[in-house]
Structure 1
């Protein structure tokens, strides 16, 4: 199915926004019974939908339009000086793709990351159930990129391969490895992977101008933002 008009959507009740103080958020979800494949997932991503666990969702707030879908057009992407240095600094890491991350090694890295980097967020405290449901493998498109330093797991990037590019679902890493800027490196790796496969874009989720946790996305240029249902390139 490619006609989005025939897809049922469900909306949450207004609730406190996780990103902006004093704002109310409403989210629409694709019907959980809707059959999803890579084609439909790609089409929904073009309309600003994002995956969390088994759910595809999009912000639908009444009084706020701060969440803007963002993607990097990989063929036009030019790394800046800091990004080039980050790429070279991590050249010693071995990167491979895994079919699953349901091991103690993976979970312990995730738990340390949440506890030290996101203790003020919705995913704290971490738990096995939350970890599995949030980073579940869905619809045969999910890959887990492992970054290892002489065999030691230092980062994992959860990414979905769609027909129109990759969707960077989530990255977690060793919080003691600040010098490596592993979050940046994971995005750069996904950009390069997308380019190698001759796909179009890396989808970064939502950019929020006045949220410091989301502001990093504008560091990848050019960037395309979904504004009034049209992708607009920012150089």
Structure 2
């Protein structure tokens, strides 16, 4: 993380590192900067949840949040599980996927997972930096040694068609990444994965499902606004995002 400046966070006396400004990955003609928790800090699931409650997120072992000088488009969002109600369309998606079998597994490299991941990226991110993943990058990106991560497999007649990677926290589920068979478009698997996670959190009495960052102006991120009520971390507090904000 060469070139980062050091910032001292008062709440936990955490050392935070700020990247230099760089081109935003989501919004054209925007500059971005990222605030990282010092990598040498001993991280744990409870500390990570404390940081998620303050708008942070993990990628691999690194815990971060956007910290852009001229932009606040990235909003950390979560579903309040007890208040969430499926829309009519979501109920249809739920019913459409009732024939899938679901099982959880601990993080490890499995060729079956990697092959599905590779196909998904080739379909969704063709020409981008992620569309030709290497096996060594697969688990490095999705897992963290200190997290309680599980890979949730969804199968159709024994065939793997989706994997949802989730961090199982004391008070929440955090959706890390989901990848699925690009030929199964009719099933709306991305939506179903979030519905399944919300139901799983409800059964485990976990109040929230964290969905990462929502960016209203980014077509890739807009799908998260369909899951309402949706809480956003704004001005150092969580609140329901209004219909006008989500529209």
Where does 1:185-196 land on structure 2 (aligned, <5 Å)? 185-196=192-203
Deviations along 1:175-223, one digit per CA (max 9) or x if unpaired, are 0000111111111111001001111100000110100100011100100
1:108 counterpart residue number = 115
1:198 counterpart residue number = 205
User: SS at the partner of 2:178?
Assistant: strand
The answer to whether residue 71 in structure 2 is matched with residue 43 in structure 1 is no
Bigger relative contact order, structure 1 or 2 (CA pairs below 8 A, ≥6 apart)? 1
1:223 counterpart residue number = 230
Q: Contact between 1:224 and 1:233, CA under 8 Å: does it hold in 2?
A: yes
The answer to whether residue 102 in structure 2 is matched with residue 95 in structure 1 is yes
1:75 counterpart residue number = 82
Where does 1:50-65 land on structure 2 (aligned, <5 Å)? 50-65=57-72
Q: Which whole-Å CA distance do the structure 2 matches of 1:200 and 1:138 have between them?
A: 24
Deviations along 1:75-127, one digit per CA (max 9) or x if unpaired, are 00000011111100000000010012411111000000000111144322222
* Shift in Å, 1:128: 1.5
1:22 counterpart residue number = 29
* Shift in Å, 1:131: 1.5
1:209 counterpart residue number = 216
Q: Contact between 1:101 and 1:144, CA under 8 Å: does it hold in 2?
A: no
Q: Which whole-Å CA distance do the structure 2 matches of 1:119 and 1:28 have between them?
A: 28
Q: Which whole-Å CA distance do the structure 1 matches of 2:72 and 2:88 have between them?
A: 32
- TM-score, length basis structure 2: 0.91
Q: Which whole-Å CA distance do the structure 1 matches of 2:175 and 2:129 have between them?
A: 19
Aligned residues: 233
Where in structure 2 are there 5+ consecutive unaligned residues?
1-9, 243-247
Q: Contact between 2:107 and 2:149, CA under 8 Å: does it hold in 1?
A: no
Q: Which whole-Å CA distance do the structure 2 matches of 1:49 and 1:140 have between them?
A: 14
Q: Contact between 2:152 and 2:163, CA under 8 Å: does it hold in 1?
A: yes
* Shift in Å, 1:234: 3.1
* Shift in Å, 1:165: 0.4
Q: Which runs of 4+ in 1 moved over 4 A?
A: none
* Shift in Å, 1:140: 4.1
Across the aligned residues of Structure 1 and Structure 2, the Cα RMSD in angstroms comes to 1.3
Q: Contact between 2:59 and 2:142, CA under 8 Å: does it hold in 1?
A: yes
Q: Which moved more, 1:214-223 or 1:4-13?
A: 4-13
Q: Which whole-Å CA distance do the structure 1 matches of 2:11 and 2:103 have between them?
A: 35
